[in-house]
Structure 1
Amino acid sequence: MTSSSSTGRSLAELIDGTDGRGLAAAGLACLDRCLPLLAPDRAEVLRPVWAAVARADAAAWAEAVGKARVGLDGAGGGAADDGGVVTLVRAMADGMPAEWAEGPLRAWAERCSTVALAVHRLYDVGEDGPLHTGELRRQLAVLDAVSHGPTGLRRARELSVEGGRVLRAVVSRRARSA
């Protein structure tokens, strides 16, 4: 989390200045983009969690997180752990806090940001190649979108879907060429 946005603030600074809803959305967006590596057949398991973020309701969040964990139970167990990617994404999913509080959400969002960047770097052509750079741009765009309140959640979700497609395509291309 070292690069900076067009406003000159680093990703870490932006996360630090984000409220609970923004933190939940930022962490969830990172997980959502990387989820195809863990559970390609379970893309919709996070939809109720997104809905809970929109409501910013502690009870709805806890229930949605619990259901997502059940929905992801056993995911990635049979997949080849390409460079530890499945393990990294599993840790992101398992680390989703059930408590809707800024402290746990901030810690989770920071971990998810770091893991998502690391995962993208593993599939990239270099230290700061296009996949890593694109992920950094998406994280900054998600934080910008959620800074506008609940209306920015739709944009955050769109960025996640787009990023997930990009990552899936790269992984698929890599598997075909192996």
Structure 2
Amino acid sequence: MTSVVSVAGRSLRELIDRADERALAAAGLACLDRCLPLLAADGGEALRPVWAAVARGDGRAWGEAVAGARTALAPGNGLSDRDSGAGSGPGAGSGPVSASADAEAVYGMLAAAPGNWTADALRGWADGCSATALALHGRYDAGAVPEGLVERCRAGDAAGAGPLLAGELRRQQAVLEATAHGPTGLRRARELSVEGGRVLRAVVSRRARTA
């Protein structure tokens, strides 16, 4: 039986296509925030100014905050765990995916954040963050994501998705739905990011203990 996950009758891809600048910025940032445990053990503070810029819809503040977060979370600054081997990647010891590869993917989301506050730039970034976050969660479900599964989920067909991937899909949709009506939805977006980050942090911690 095919499982279809959508919010207000729209797939994730449709929600991204219809979103405005603030919703797109929030969607991409929320994906990054939820995946941050794979990059830094305690890096959430670095994203606070970015969230504040999204709340204001301030393009200049956005660019400055993104640049500051890149510096704070860069390798060797004391926050990032990218090269420390901290944690345990999915399938550790038995597959090609490593903790450092996951961290690279998460930092790549931040590195790709556009400095310009425009719908086109932010839509491309949010779309890329969506796919990356879903793929990372899928790896922690089973160690490997079947080809095409992420895009099928984003199109509305979640058949075959494991619990972590399905949960991330629901959160991404909920963020876009919450922010579709303006800045009042940002509190919900942040709550979903905190919730998702806790889930992934618990999985990483459990893998580390059993590795």
TM-score (norm 2): 0.80
Kindly state the Cα deviation for residue 86 of structure 1 after the two structures are TM-superposed. 1.3
Does the residue aligned with 2:141 lie in a helix, a strand or coil? coil
Quick one: which amino acid aligns to residue 22 of structure 2?
R
1:133 matched to 2:134:
no
- 1:77 counterpart = 2:83: yes
Retained in 2: the 8 A contact 1:3–1:11?
no
Q: Is the 8 A contact 1:79 1:86 kept in 2?
A: no
Residues 66 and 110 in structure 2, CA contact (< 8 A), matched pair in contact too: no
Bigger radius of gyration: 2
> Deviation at 1:171?
1.0
The TM-score normalised by the length of structure 1 is 0.94
Q: Structure 1 or 2: larger helix share?
A: 1
1:15-34 matches, cutoff 5 A: 15-34=16-35
Partner of 1:43: 44
> For residues 7 and 159 of structure 1, what CA distance do their matches in structure 2 show?
18
AA aligned opposite 2:85 = A
Identity over aligned residues, as a percent? 62
In the alignment, structure 2 segments of 5+ residues that lack a partner are 90-96, 146-159
Give the distance between the partners of 1:49 and 1:12, measured in 2 at CA: 24
Matching residue of 1:111? 128
**Amino acid of the structure 2 residue aligned with 1:24:** A
Distance in 2 (alpha carbons) for counterparts of 1:168 and 1:51:
24
Aligned residues: 177
Q: Which residue of 1 aligns with 2:179?
A: 146
Q: Which residue of 2 aligns with 1:11?
A: 12
Residue range with higher mean Cα deviation, 94-103 or 22-31: 94-103
Q: Alpha-carbon deviations, 1:107-145, whole Å to 9, x = none?
A: 100000000000000001485111111000100110111
Q: Please point out which of 99, 106, 110 is paired with 2:116.
A: 99
For 1:68-104, what per-residue CA distance to the aligned partner results, in whole angstroms no more than 9, with x for missing partners? 1111111213236831211211111111111111111
Runs of 4+ in 1 over 4 A off after TM superposition: none
CA distance in 2, matches of 1:7, 1:120: 24
Gaps of 5+ in 1: none
Structure 1 Cα separation of the partners of residues 127 and 106 of structure 2:
14
Query: 1:8, CA displacement in angstroms?
Result: 2.6
Q: Aligned in 2, Cα 1:56/1:3: closer, same or farther, shift over 3 Å?
A: farther
Question: What is the SS of the residue equivalent to 2:35?
Answer: helix
The 1-side partners of 2:44 and 2:103 are apart by 15
